[in-house]
Amino acid sequence: MVLSCAVLLLTGCEGGEKEKPIWEQLKIGDLAASGVAKRPEERLLKTLNFDFYVFEMPLENVSVLEDVWPKLSIEHLQFRDYEAFQANSFSIGFGQLLLWDEIADLLRAAGGRRVEADALLLMDGQTRDLGIASVEREQTIFYVSADGPEEQMMTGSGRISLRIKVERIPGSRGVCNFTAEPVFLPLRDRSATKSAAGSETGIILFNSCRFGLKMSPGDFVFFGPAKYVSERSTLAGLFFSRAKPRPVVRTYLIVCAGIID
């Protein structure tokens, strides 16, 4: 399985050398194994490998996303509440890697570049929190709940993250269930949990923006803002906007890199 080099192209290139063909550059296996030293017995474990990328583009070019979304599908995606997902200014699409180079060309032409990358090696049923934005002081976060109305949640200092969970499907090889939802993690008392509609203190799960799907190697999900929201008091603003040193829009790519049965 080979990852399209368009992911790398968004970082820019140096020199005048002619670029290699897409399929001769970065391999997914190289990314998944990055920084992971495995003992012989660990190679026998059943693992699910994903790659996570963050892209930024200048705010003035955000309209390019209007050309991206129609190329992707939501047919395979499942939502806690799709209307609430959209009302929170989240947009998402599913695709396969043969399509990614076309999308990456659009992002690159709009000044997009890759700013973060992470290789995730997960066990069946394991969760992982991917950091998105810091909340440096007490503030109110506005979002649309699964019940429909806009709500507000008071937080202390902490971090907005994307919590992902992967699970193998019994009796099915080469496919897994993938779910993700935004979560606020306080700096203190990380052991407590809370749904966005609950009353306990601690972790806040924004389940109105939860999404999931079945994924196989070569599948990806790409998500970003349905519209630009600059206010960092909103969930979408925290996820998709950065004001300094200049306004940029953030988008995210998650690739299923491999499933070791």
- Which structure tokens are listed for 9? 């192209």
CA angle, corner 238, sides to 233 and 240, nearest 5?
130
Q: What gap in Å lies between CA 125 and CA 217, rounded to an integer?
A: 17
Residues 114 and 7 sit within 8 Å (Cβ to Cβ)? yes
**Nearest residue to 66 (alpha-carbon basis) of 199, 249, 211:** 249
pTM of the complete model: 0.80
Q: Where are the beta strands (DSSP E) in 6-98?
A: 47-58, 78-79, 90-96
Q: What gap in Å lies between CA 260 and CA 173, rounded to an integer?
A: 9
- Which structure tokens are listed for 257? 């890199």
Q: What gap in Å lies between CA 124 and CA 167, rounded to an integer?
A: 5
Q: What gap in Å lies between CA 62 and CA 85, rounded to an integer?
A: 20
The tens-digit pLDDT sequence of the chain (261 residues) is 444 444 554 554 444 444 433 323 333 333 333 434 444 444 445 789 999 999 999 999 999 999 999 999 999 999 999 999 999 999 999 999 999 999 999 999 999 999 999 999 999 999 999 999 998 888 889 999 987 778 888 888 899 999 999 999 998 889 999 999 999 999 865 444 444 544 345 788 999 999 999 999 999 999 999 988 877 789 999 999 988 788 999 999 999 999 987
